[in-house]
Amino acid sequence: MKIIFIGDIVGKPGRKILKNKLPSLIEKYSPDLIIANGENAAGGKGLNQRVADELFESGIDILTMGNHVWDKKEIFNFIQGDKRIVRPANYPKGTPGSGFTKVEVNGKIILILNLSGIVYMPPLDCPFKVIDEMLNVDDYDYSLLDFHGEATSEKIAMGWYLNGKIDAVVGTHTHVQTSDYRRLDKGTLYITDVGMTGPYNGVLGVKKEDVIKKFVTKMPTRFNIETDGPKQLNAVYLDLNSEKIYPIKEIE
């Protein structure tokens, strides 16, 4: 089972490089499944119907989310009915949408899960408790968790916690790809953060001038997406059968 997981797609620049680069990545890796984190895909914050449709048409099979999941109110109109969209599972019971989905590829069922960290993040249910319950089902062949978190320690701990119990744990949210991709000793593939897909010369996708101004003046500052200059695509390629993980970085 071969999967490409693409890190947080940020706004129009992210969708543009995705559209340009995905065909060659598909040719190179022949993935069975393409998953992307879509929490920043519409204008940098959240997801709307038009952008979701555009991403699925580009070739994405599943979109995972994160702390920005509710930023576009429109999501309440479609998250409940679309099994291709997965939001963090550790929201309270009754929250719209689902924290997992299952897809069948070549006769095999892949369980895709999304959780939010709770260190320097909104205070949701304990991700370690929630994942225990979620993996306590037996009707799947492969499993992958997008652990959307800020603290490297929380993500690394989750990787070890699930070592041997899940096929892959990929971190998202920080927008910076880490170089610690590896196979943990009981076979779980792991990376602390996949990185982002969007502008290359901003600060995590935002215009550098806006972010610098905020740090210098300490005043509230409006953040705009960096729309000029080169773009980057960060992803990982995972082969769940041969237990291999490789980073992908494209710049244009």
Q: In which element (H, E) is residue 130 found? A: helix 127-134
Q: Which CB sits closer to Fe ion, 163 or 224?
A: 224
CB of residue 67 to Fe ion, shortest distance in Å: 4
> What is the spatial distance between Cα 54 and Cα 14, in angstroms, rounded to a whole number?
12
Q: Which of 3, 29, 34, 67 binds Fe ion (CB under 5 A)?
A: 67
Q: Which of 21, 33, 40, 85 binds Fe ion (CB under 5 A)?
A: 40
Q: Which CB sits closer to Fe ion, 31 or 66?
A: 66
> What is the spatial distance between Cα 13 and Cα 43, in angstroms, rounded to a whole number?
10
Residue list 106-125, contact with Fe ion (CB under 5 A): none
Residue 178 DSSP SS3? coil
Q: Which of 5, 8, 32, 101 binds Fe ion (CB under 5 A)?
A: 8
Residue list 138-197, contact with Fe ion (CB under 5 A): 173
Does the footprint of Fe ion cover residue 66 (CB under 5 A)? Answer: yes
The burial of 51, by beta-carbon neighbours within 10 Å (0-12 exposed, 13-18 middle, 19 or more buried), is given as buried
- Residue partners of 134: CB distance under 8 A and separation at least 6: 89, 99, 100, 113
At residue 36, what are phi and psi to the nearest 5 degrees? Answer: -140, 150
CB of residue 39 to Fe ion, shortest distance in Å: 5
Annotated binding-site residue? 39: yes
Q: CA angle, 177 as apex, 148 and 67 as ends, to 5°?
A: 20
Annotated binding-site residue? 8: yes
Are the C-beta atoms of 17 and 252 separated by less than 8 Å? yes
Residue 102 DSSP SS3? strand
* Residues in binding contact with Fe ion, number by CB under 5 A: 5
Task: Give the binding range for Fe ion (CB under 5 A) out of 55-63, 65-73, 92-100, 128-136.
Answer: 65-73
Which residue among the candidates 12, 15, 68, 207 is catalytic per the annotation?
A: 68
Say how far residue 8 (Cα) sits from the centre of its chain.
Answer: 5
CB of residue 140 to Fe ion, shortest distance in Å: 26
60 catalytic per annotation = no
CB of residue 142 to Fe ion, shortest distance in Å: 25
The binding site for Fe ion (CB under 5 A) comprises 8, 40, 66-67, 173
Q: Binding site for Fe cation: what residues are annotated?
A: 8, 39-40, 67, 148, 173, 175
| Catalytic positions | 68
